[in-house]
Amino acid sequence: MSTAPLTSPSLSEQPGRRLSLVRRPAPAPRRAVGALPLTVGAELGVPTVHRTVVDFGNLDHAATTPALTAVAEAVSTVQRRYGSVHRGAGYTSRLTTDWFEQARTEVGAFVGARPDDEVVFTRNTTDSLRLLAHALPQDAEVIVFESAHHAALLPWPAEATLRLPVPTSALDAQSLLERALREGPAGKPRLVVVTGACNVTGDIWPVAELAAIARRHGARTVLDAAQLAPHRPVDIDALGIDWVALSGHKMYAPYGAGALVGRSDWLEAAAPYLPAGGATHTVSHRHTRWQQGPARHEGGTPNAVGAIALASACASLSAHRDAVEAHEAELLAALREGLAAVPGVRVHHVLGPAADGVGVATFTVEGYEPSLVSQVLADEYGLAVRDGRFCAHLLCETLFDGDGTAVRASIGLATTREHVERLVRGVRGLVEHGPSSAYEYTVDGWVAQDDPRDLSEPRPW
């Protein structure tokens, strides 16, 4: 682990002073220039309970990602020229409108949108799937696996939703869907909700195969690509799906934008998602005429900055796809192999250990609560992981013993080989020697006793 002793006179001469977050000069690039898109925040050093400062080890990409430097630069550019989109005659409004609509084209291209598909900008994947739920035909039936993230599990009408049990393999998932569609009511619209990559374990689902089963039975498919799109290509036509939903904050564009991309007919037939300015064509005393196309569901002033940030991320990921996949494959292999070699550690899967997966390793440590494991890794090793049920409670109840929680380490472009090695070393150290500090469980979670750090910072405004 790369550590730097705290030798500043103001600290060494005042040993009782609490330590705070440190921003050091940006380190030299850890990889060949141009090989991978770089992320904001590489200069961040974090203090540990051992009175050292270490490089922040980001293994929490499945929750949210830092911005790419290219995305941050795009945001900086648009903010200097920002104006409200559509209908403005001023220079900044016209320019921002042009960029906003070009962003729509870029995002559509990123997921292989067909010529007649719509790209509707939303807040995130949750918002995108809620929009599609809003647009469901009145008599539609929805089929979703209980292993889905809550964003994909919960927005549908309860009385018209069939939940399939957590499958044990890719073939089991296909068999469960085939049976449900064959035995279900025919002659009505049906929507199958498919996860691209499991947010709990990283397992990649057989999307094309499930979509083909749906088509054979006259059903449509929506893909939750929140965890898949940052790591692997998504192509609507090649996969045979009807819609795809994704989030910017999972794709190195954490500026509050996502998208729903796909067929227009259900969207055009539905009432506006946000009935307000922008969604209206004309309003009279007797009648309101609504817009057609994406504007129909983008009422109010849209998040143009977020949409442009998302488009920038799509362009960067597309341009560096091979390098991104190679980087993540190397780190994921090291992460899973390293954890599997530690006695008492179990790495979990939904579709089996042989299933292909994105950069996630979710594990439990015998004898330790997951919440304590993640806190020890944060306090003693400067690592960010996540513990809990990961907004997939039904899946976690199936996978994990005890209280149904686990620790999730998720890699991405801000993760280095040293971070992975530090994590494995930290877990092994915990198993072999226990925590180096005494921890007490409080209403705020586990707290290290005699913690010398002050983790507060001035507000950024």
CA–CA gap between residue 305 and residue 354 (Å, rounded): 41
What is the 3-state composition of the chain as percent helix, strand, coil, each rounded to the nearest 5?
35, 20, 45
Q: Which residue has the tokens 């929680």?
A: 405
DSSP reduced 3-state for 228: coil
Residue found by looking up tokens 């143009």 in the block: 304
CA-to-CA distance for 103 and 93, rounded, in angstroms? 15
C-beta separation of 192 from 221 below 8 A = yes
Instruction: Write down the catalytic residue from 198, 314, 391, 396.
Output: 391
Q: Residue 336: CB partners within 8 Å, gap ≥ 6?
A: 347, 361
CB atoms within 10 A of CB 187: 7
> ∠ CA(86), CA(91), CA(94), 5° rounding?
25
| DSSP strand pairing (118-122 vs 258-262) | antiparallel
Nearest CA to 239 out of 230, 229, 227 is that of 229
What 8-state DSSP symbol labels residue 204? Answer: B
Tally Cβ neighbours within 10 Å of residue 25. Answer: 7
Which regions of 314-458 does DSSP assign to beta strands (E)? 345-347, 360-365, 383-384, 386-388, 406-410, 439-442, 445-448
Distance, CA of 302 to CA of 42 (rounded, Å): 31
The whole-angstrom separation of Cα 60 and Cα 45 is 16
Closest CA to 310 of 61, 102, 127: 102
To which H or E segment does residue 55 belong? strand 52-55
Is 391 a residue of the active site?
yes
Give SS3 for 259.
strand
What residues act catalytically? 391
